[in-house]
A and B are shown apart, each in its own frame.
Chain A
Amino acid sequence: MKKTLLSAAIGAAILGAASAASAGTLQDVKAKGFVTCGASQGVPGFSNPDDKGEWSGIDVDYCRGIAAAVFGDPKKAKFVALSSKDRFPALQSGEIDVLTRNTTWTVSRDTSLGFNFRTVNYYDGQGFLVKKGLNVKSALELSGAAVCVQTGTTTELNLADYFKANNLQYNPVVFEKEADATSAYDAGRCDVYTTDQSGLYAMRLKLKNPDDNIVLPEVISKEPLGPAVRQGDDQWFDVVSWVHYAMVNAEEFGITSKNVDEMKTKGGPDVKRMLGNEEGTKIGTDLGLTNDWAYNVIKLVGNYSEVFERNVGPNTPLKIQRGLNALWNKGGLQYAPPIR
């Protein structure tokens, strides 16, 4: 009896200690041999498991990029499916190392929730999906509508603000899971479904009659989506951020997963520096990684353009144009600080 109690207490103490000692996430990740990323419960194009449990999407590729940078192996990434409501406690508690789950960067999440955001891997904005039969042409005609929305999202708050600002009435129908909100909309419980525009296109594919639904022209919010990490761990924050910057810089330099080996030896000095082929370079080791980290990210996962085209681009069912997500020198917002 005494022994069981004592061992229980020791067990509890170890558990407590384990969750307390997570300041050096990079060391923890290296020690356990894989990186744990928070993913969605299924948003096509962003993070979506297929029927074999294989994940795909641009958020998934971000996570694989981190695994490639740390281990030189994109397969050393594990995904935890999280609802919008569970994602923040999962990161706070250390269940996941980084949240790569179409999460909007806001000041309160940056501060009071205790997270850090820096890179934006997808610039999005909130829109509305309605049934064609309602003959609605603008969101301003939606007064009195029932709106399906997922709880615990910025979407839910933007919705309240937008309808209030425009003096419109509405009846919110709130679900915890995206799938439940979708099926309620499909069953006619709501007139309108609202989420980020990328999500609307993805979700429309899942409806019974996708062509009977249209996305309204209004974009009512800014939704910069990017990865979040816990505050107070600058090294890990840097690793996560520079994986994205490496992908964007690679696109700018024209480095792809196909030509990266060639570029490593034949590219200009800035290309060679980025790929870790510069005499006496310390960029990788200063990040806490190896000097071929960026090479691994591009070789094994691809540059930003490849990731975008593969998951959400015009040749995928989602058919999303680059738009705001084009490079800064092509009229978009994707801009990466130099690697030097």
Chain B
Amino acid sequence: MAGNALPSEKPTSSGSSSLLYDPKARGIFYQVLTVAILGLFVWIIVNNTITNLNRANIASGFDFLKGRAGFDIGQTLIDYSSDSTYGRALLVGLLNTLEVAIIGIITASIIGFIVGIARLSSNWLIAKLAQIYVEIFRNIPPLLVIFFWYKGVIAILPQARASLALPFGTYLNNRGLFFPKPLWGGGAWLILVALVVAIVLSLVIRRWARLRQEKTGQQYPSGLTALLLIIGLPLVTFLALGAPLSFEYPVAGKFNLTGGSVVGPEFISLYLALSFYTASFIAEIVRAGIKAVAKGQTEAASALGLRGNMTTRLIVIPQALRIIIPPLTSQYLNLTKNSSLAVAVGFADVVAVGGTMLNQTGQAVEIVTLWLVIYLSLSVSTAVLMNWFNSKMALVER
């Protein structure tokens, strides 16, 4: 009896329970639920913000960017005065962020590669020094490194009226590095044209040399030619134009040196701190990348008769780069984001300028949104660029 009833009951009960126990249906149910809760959450946040802004009579929108800023900025790459708009002030901040990020990335890469290779050196002293460098800078928060440079090094330089004189009309004091400002005469743009022409020519020669080597096996020193062209052509143009260059030297003024160009201590400390800090991570990435290339590769290369530097250049580095580039991208992103620590030493980066604007206009939501968009675009562009580089370097499978 019971044995008969079981098969007849089974299809009816599984009709309702199959949907409940069906992994696919359950998956869809939970996904829909998650999206709904997320949507509700976002709606509550947005709705609450709008309600509160309206209740507090705070104007919203981005019109405030057209208003007069009214405050001055110490470090600017473009023309700016207190009469400029808030939008322009933010642009000044963005350019300052870009300046410190780009120069910092270049310096950090150079130091990082040198230290990374030095750690692999067979010379005990060099290897240990590199290791000490890495361990010190890797284990200190970047903010402290900035303070170290700002309050520990630059602040104890001579006072403005007792500047340290360096060669070539350059001075150093606790208000920055002062150096002669080049003033270009007429026709100076031709030098720039000569430089561009030299670069294009070098690229053409390099291509031609490679094609010739593939065809005939003969080598041509394209690197040396390029170097000569890039230095020589602008130099010849410069001399042919009668050297149209003069300098404006910094001279002692009432309060400080005036004239010439100046790099302030805020920029210097931020730049040095970011470079040294990030370089310690890059050094480790470089070391890991080189170590990861199997020893057999070097041995095979020398068995084929390649010389030492060619082995490094053609066998080891291309393979190491494949391992180095992805984590290197993260370090570049970190450096860019860490540049927002500028606010600690009063460097006018996009966060510092935005903060001043926020305080004056009260447009907190808008400015925070702008910050997010700016940093997101900076990071995404860096990542896209590095991914492109990575794909160029990646193993080409044939």
User: Of A92, A157, A173, A188, which is within 8 A of B74 by CB?
Assistant: A173
Contact of A114 with B57 in the complex, beta carbons under 8 Å: yes
- Quote the shortest CB–CB distance from A161 to chain B (angstroms): 7
- CB contacts (< 8 Å) of A111 on chain B: these are 57
Contact of B255 with A144 in the complex, beta carbons under 8 Å: yes
Contact of A232 with B55 in the complex, beta carbons under 8 Å: yes
- CB contacts (< 8 Å) of B254 on chain A: these are 143-144
- Quote the shortest CB–CB distance from A137 to chain B (angstroms): 13
Report the nearest B residue to A92, measured CB to CB.
Answer: B56
Of A9-17, A29-37, A61-69, the one contacting chain B is A9-17
User: Of B30, B44, B355, which is within 8 A of A12 by CB?
Assistant: B44
- CB contacts (< 8 Å) of A232 on chain B: these are 55-57
What is the CA–CA distance of A102 and B318 in the complex, to the nearest angstrom?
62
B196 within 8 A of A: no
B:350-393 near A, CB below 8 Å: 352, 355-356, 358-362, 364
- Quote the shortest CB–CB distance from B177 to chain A (angstroms): 14
B121 within 8 A of A: no
Number of A-B contacts (CB under 8 A): 138
Mark contacts of A191-234 with chain B using CB atoms, 8 A cut-off: 1 yes-contact digit, 0 otherwise.
10000000000000000000000000000000000000011100
Mark contacts of B68-87 with chain A using CB atoms, 8 A cut-off: 1 yes-contact digit, 0 otherwise.
00111110000001110000
- CB contacts (< 8 Å) of B159 on chain A: these are 188
Tell whether A152 pairs with B155 under 8 Å between CB atoms, given A19-B48, A174-B348, A230-B56.
no
- CB contacts (< 8 Å) of A92 on chain B: these are 56, 58, 362, 364
Of B32-40, B102-110, B138-146, B304-312, the one contacting chain A is B32-40
What is the CA–CA distance of A2 and B26 in the complex, to the nearest angstrom?
12
Interface size of A by Cβ–Cβ distance < 8 Å?
A: 54
B:1-58 near A, CB below 8 Å: 30, 33-34, 37, 40-41, 44-45, 47-48, 51-52, 55-58
A283 within 8 A of B: no
Tell whether A23 pairs with B55 under 8 Å between CB atoms, given A164-B82, A176-B346.
yes
- CB contacts (< 8 Å) of A252 on chain B: these are none
Q: Is the interface of B mostly helix, strand, loop or mixed?
A: helix
User: Of A9, A151, A184, A230, which is within 8 A of B40 by CB?
Assistant: A9
- Quote the shortest CB–CB distance from B263 to chain A (angstroms): 13
Contact of B72 with A172 in the complex, beta carbons under 8 Å: yes
Tell whether A188 pairs with B358 under 8 Å between CB atoms, given A16-B45, A174-B352.
no
Contact of A157 with B70 in the complex, beta carbons under 8 Å: yes
What is the CA–CA distance of A184 and B147 in the complex, to the nearest angstrom?
12
A258 within 8 A of B: no
Contact of A152 with B57 in the complex, beta carbons under 8 Å: no
Contact of A180 with B256 in the complex, beta carbons under 8 Å: no
B319 within 8 A of A: no
- Quote the shortest CB–CB distance from B39 to chain A (angstroms): 10
- Quote the shortest CB–CB distance from B147 to chain A (angstroms): 10
Mark contacts of A255-275 with chain B using CB atoms, 8 A cut-off: 1 yes-contact digit, 0 otherwise.
000000000000000000000
User: Of A5, A16, A183, which is within 8 A of B34 by CB?
Assistant: A5
B59 within 8 A of A: yes
- CB contacts (< 8 Å) of B40 on chain A: these are 9
Tell whether A20 pairs with B52 under 8 Å between CB atoms, given A112-B59, A151-B359, A160-B72.
yes
Contact of A172 with B74 in the complex, beta carbons under 8 Å: yes
Chain A CB within 10 Å — which of B34, B45, B52 has the most? B52
B160 within 8 A of A: yes
What is the CA–CA distance of A114 and B348 in the complex, to the nearest angstrom?
27
Contact of B174 with A189 in the complex, beta carbons under 8 Å: yes
Mark contacts of B163-192 with chain A using CB atoms, 8 A cut-off: 1 yes-contact digit, 0 otherwise.
000000000001100000000000000000
Contact of B57 with A231 in the complex, beta carbons under 8 Å: yes
- CB contacts (< 8 Å) of A16 on chain B: these are 44-45, 47-48
- CB contacts (< 8 Å) of A79 on chain B: these are none
Tell whether A187 pairs with B358 under 8 Å between CB atoms, given A19-B48, A230-B56.
no
Contact of B175 with A146 in the complex, beta carbons under 8 Å: yes
- CB contacts (< 8 Å) of B72 on chain A: these are 156, 159-160, 163, 170, 172
- CB contacts (< 8 Å) of A231 on chain B: these are 56-57
Contact of A146 with B255 in the complex, beta carbons under 8 Å: yes
User: Of B37, B44, B255, which is within 8 A of A6 by CB?
Assistant: B37
Contact of A89 with B74 in the complex, beta carbons under 8 Å: no
Mark contacts of B93-126 with chain A using CB atoms, 8 A cut-off: 1 yes-contact digit, 0 otherwise.
0000000000000000000000000000000000
Tell whether A13 pairs with B74 under 8 Å between CB atoms, given A112-B59, A161-B82, A187-B174.
no
Contact of B45 with A12 in the complex, beta carbons under 8 Å: yes
What is the CA–CA distance of A187 and B266 in the complex, to the nearest angstrom?
14
A:62-104 near B, CB below 8 Å: 84-85, 88-89, 92
- Quote the shortest CB–CB distance from B260 to chain A (angstroms): 14
- Quote the shortest CB–CB distance from A97 to chain B (angstroms): 14
- CB contacts (< 8 Å) of B253 on chain A: these are 144
Contact of A112 with B58 in the complex, beta carbons under 8 Å: yes
| A–B pairs, 20, beta carbons within 8 Å | A2-B33, A20-B51, A85-B356, A89-B358, A92-B56, A92-B362, A113-B58, A144-B253, A144-B255, A144-B256, A145-B255, A151-B359, A157-B360, A160-B71, A174-B346, A176-B343, A180-B344, A189-B174, A191-B256, A231-B56
Which B positions have Cβ atoms within 8 angstroms of A? 30, 33-34, 37, 40-41, 44-45, 47-48, 51-52, 55-59, 70-74, 81-83, 151, 155, 159-160, 174-175, 253-256, 258, 265-266, 343-344, 346, 348, 352, 355-356, 358-362, 364
Counting from the closest, the 8 A-B pairs by CB-CB distance are A152-B359, A114-B56, A160-B82, A113-B362, A16-B48, A114-B58, A114-B57, A187-B155
Given A17-B48, A161-B82, A164-B83, 5 additional A-B pairs, CB 8 A? A6-B37, A113-B58, A152-B355, A157-B70, A161-B70
